[in-house]
Chains A and B, each alone.
Chain A
Amino acid sequence: MTDDTAVDTAVYLYGVARGLDPAVLEGAEGVAGAPVRALDAAGLTALISTVRLEEFGERALRERLEDLDWLEATARAHHEVVDRAARAAPTAPVRIATIYRDEERVGQVLAEDRERFALVLDRIRGRSEWGVKAYAYAEALQGDDPAEPAEPAPPSPPAAPDAAGGSTGGESAGGGAEGAGTAYLRRRQSQRRRREDAGRRVTAQAQEIHAELGDHAVASRQHPAQDPRLSGHDGTQILNVAYLLDDERVEAFADAARRIDARLPGIGIELTGPWPPYSFIDTDETTPAAGRPA
């Protein structure tokens, strides 16, 4: 790197691969649209691009990371690069915004951390991450009464048509002996009980799904549930887990997910992948499957 550019630029590190054909990176666009290149050091390949300190300097980063537009664009670019490499060779993603002064420093880090990278790469070789989300739809959450109108979110308006004169369960809402409010309260109470039962059932189903899919996996890691609107579903997300799969188990895993989707009424399964093994880099936070050392 020449002195002129060194003053204003730094090197962004996306991930570390082993045995990667550099041709795979041809045409890849990194963060801020920069071309991505491979840097070989210590028997490993670093995926890097040049960034301007004006955008990726210490203070600039701190502020831009809070800008959701910038964050999204950067996260997507980071992912594109890691994903491209991960499909061609074992690739360990590096945390977003890991930046070095120059290529020489990247080489140094690879050499210093060679053993740690080797461990990670050994663990993920021939494997990929798959995401499974399970959704419970209204009929699974409402309990047993199919005549009950769907209530997607917990705090929602009561079923006013019923209260105003309809009678689905033999309870007269406009009743004589009881006040209308009392009857309504009673009906709401039983509705709530049914919902709680349904909630327990759905939670048990989520555990069952996780156990069944986990049988195919080397390891798993739970993610927090996502918002329904964000995921484009009208269901409630009851499971959000990443599984690390041996490549040859992927098909059986997907079949299992399909069968579960068909088998459980009111439950929908969504499968995404293959992902670079983001969720399985840090062994402390992942759960190895029983009897299968990760």
Chain B
Amino acid sequence: MSDISWTGGRSPARSVSGQQPQGGANLADLLERILDKGIVIVGDIRVNLLDIELLTIKLRLLVASVDRAKEMGIDWWEHDPSLSSGARKNQAAADGGGAAAVQAEAEPAGLTAPDGHGEHDELLRENRLLRERLAALEAAAEPGDDPPAAPAEPAAARKTAARTKKTSKASEASDERDAPDGPADRGRA
């Protein structure tokens, strides 16, 4: 396993120790290296290389299993600036498959600048909510002490929408003991 040899002083969630809780390297670091890197030589068991490439894309867009991924803490599709133009868009890509997914994958994300999309709509909505809140406050003629309640709503709604997206591919992955591949593989090579 790789040592975490050093982390900056501002790293709140991780110590400089070499061991991660799960006894190994950060899973994201690991998967980004293991999945689609390394020497490619054709094996006798033909896992189509495209399958692995597709898997990499799927892992990023999390078609496989959103819920399971969240348990693992993999939810970068919600935050990755190159993918975060909206959970809805991701959902569309997941449902529609192909082109959109590849496009998202192709975006160079090594260097990313933080910014929000749809800020204008966001502003208008927040503005409206704030107006309502101010009106309520003025009517009550007393200072409120739970100000964030109203403005928080849009964000909460968006989150909920994101959580509802889910596909069943991985959950359908069942035991396939009844399907021995062996003899076929042996015959082919």
Contact = CB atoms under 8 A, between A and B. Distances in A.
A98 B185 contact: no
B182 A269 contact: no
Contacts of A185: 123, 127
Interface residues of B, number: 106
Contacts of A165: 143
Given A181-B130, A225-B82, 14 more contacts: A54-B180, A64-B173, A65-B47, A68-B69, A68-B74, A79-B30, A83-B1, A94-B39, A94-B40, A181-B128, A225-B110, A226-B32, A231-B28, A270-B7
Given A97-B47, A157-B152, A80 B186 contact: no
- Most chain A CB within 10 A, of B9, B72, B181, is at B181
A274 interface: yes
Most interface-central of A64, A76, A200 (chain B CB within 10 A): A76
Interface in B9-36: 9-14, 24-36
A274 B2 contact: yes
B80 A225 contact: yes
Interface string B66-83: 001100111111111110
B95 interface: no
Nearest to A7: B182
B169 A258 contact: no
A53 B182 contact: yes
A96 B52 contact: yes
A202 B113 contact: yes
B97 interface: no
Contacts of A66: 55, 58, 64, 169-170, 173
Given A180-B130, A180-B134, A232-B13, A67 B47 contact: no
A174 B144 CA distance: 14
Contacts of B65: 68
Interface string A228-268: 11111111111111100000000000100110011000001
A271 interface: yes
A59 B8 contact: no
Contact of B114 (A154, A180, A227, A254): A154
Contacts of A269: 7-8
Contact residues of B: prevailing secondary structure: loop
A222 B147 contact: no
Nearest to B148: A160
A59 B183 contact: no
Interface of A: 6-8, 10, 13, 15-16, 53-54, 56-69, 71-72, 75-76, 78-80, 83, 92-101, 105, 109, 113, 116-117, 120, 130-131, 135-137, 141, 153-158, 160-161, 163-165, 174, 179-181, 184-185, 188-189, 192, 195-196, 199-200, 202-203, 206-207, 210, 222-242, 254, 257-258, 261-262, 268-275, 278-279, 281-282
B111 interface: yes
B184 interface: yes
A114 B128 CA distance: 68
B74 to A, nearest CB: 6
B45 interface: yes
B85 to A, nearest CB: 10
Given A95-B39, A241-B110, A278-B34, A272 B12 contact: no
Interface string B173-189: 11011011111111001
A127 to B, nearest CB: 15
Contact of B41 (A109, A135, A196, A238): A109
Nearest to A13: B43
Given A72-B27, A100-B44, A227 B14 contact: no
Contacts of B137: 164
Nearest 5 CB-CB pairings of A with B? A57-B181, A227-B76, A154-B116, A222-B110, A232-B13
Interface string B87-124: 00000000000000000000011111111111100110
